[in-house]
Homo-oligomer: A and B are copies of this chain.
Amino acid sequence: MTLRIQCLDIDCREPGTVADFWEAALGWRRTHEAADQIVLEPPEGSPEDGVSPDLLFLRVPDPTPGKNRLHLDLRPDDQEREVERLEALGAKRARVGQPETVRWIVMSDPEGNEFCVLPPLSPDQ
């Protein structure tokens, strides 16, 4: 394989605000910070370290034009507790047209980027 995913880039009005949220939400570490960009990487020594894509928060002048075309799905151990923790960090529950019956919870980060908190993996998954 000669082509790898290096990072997921997230356009921000205020990279610091958004990166603060995701740093706390995921427990990742800030490995680069400049005026217009911040990099988060997985915890040192974790299976994701050096393997999973980094998150790169970029300052851009333009606001989000509508619902994001790309979003992250997060897998918690305890869905309800994680949703409460994320709300305390500044996330909000979001309505994007999902049915009432779905098992995932749609939220948005402090700049309105939608993401989903999935149910925990069952033991046979």
Give chain A interface residues in 32-55, CB to chain B under 8 Å. Answer: 43, 46-48, 51-53
By the criterion CB–CB under 8 Å, are B8 and A26 in contact?
no
| A6, B70: Cβ atoms closer than 8 Å | no
Known contacts A52-B48, A65-B65; A2/B73 CB under 8 A: no
* A72 cross-chain contacts in B, Cβ below 8 A: 5, 7-9, 53
Bitwise interface map of A from 4 to 20 toward B, beta carbon under 8 Å scored 1, else 0:
11111111000000000
State whether A51 touches B52 (Cβ < 8 A): yes
* Interface residue count on the A side (C-beta < 8 Å): 43
Question: How many subunits of this chain does the assembly comprise?
Answer: 2
Chain B residues whose CB sits within 8 angstroms of the CB of A43 once the complex forms: 1
**Any chain B CB within 8 A of the CB of A3?**
yes
In the bound complex, CA of A117 to CA of B9 (Å): 13
The 8 Å CB contact of A6, one of B9, B53, B69, B74, is B74
- 8 shortest interchain CB distances as A-B pairs: A65-B66, A70-B70, A6-B75, A65-B65, A2-B77, A6-B73, A52-B52, A1-B27
